[in-house]
Amino acid sequence: MQPIIALHTVNGGEELESHLIGGEYMNSFDKSPHDLFLAPTTITGWVNVYKGNILGGMFDTEEIAKDSIIDHMAESYVGTLLIEIEI
């Protein structure tokens, strides 16, 4: 298993440091300020909801979502919701 190599700023300079695959700093048995982490990414969009727990695609705006209501499912349309997904 290959380590992760990251560039850290240390005392005004830069140093290459090795990390385990989970992001833990290899030169520490405890939590370290050198540990890496994955910053979450959040996606926000509008979805159309239909009866039967059916969701339409995700759209950038509420207006676009409402303009995209599926014709043959218009009778089962419940509403348009703003959602946030963290990946």
Give tens-digit pLDDT for 20-47.
Answer: 888 888 877 788 888 888 788 999 999 9
pLDDT at site 59: 97
Q: Are 58 and 46 in contact (CB under 8 A)?
A: yes
Mean pLDDT, all residues of the chain: 89
Nearest-CA neighbor of 44 among 83, 5, 2?
Answer: 83
Calculate mean pLDDT across residues 8-18. 88
Specify the amino acid at residue 68. S
Calculate mean pLDDT across residues 66-76. 94
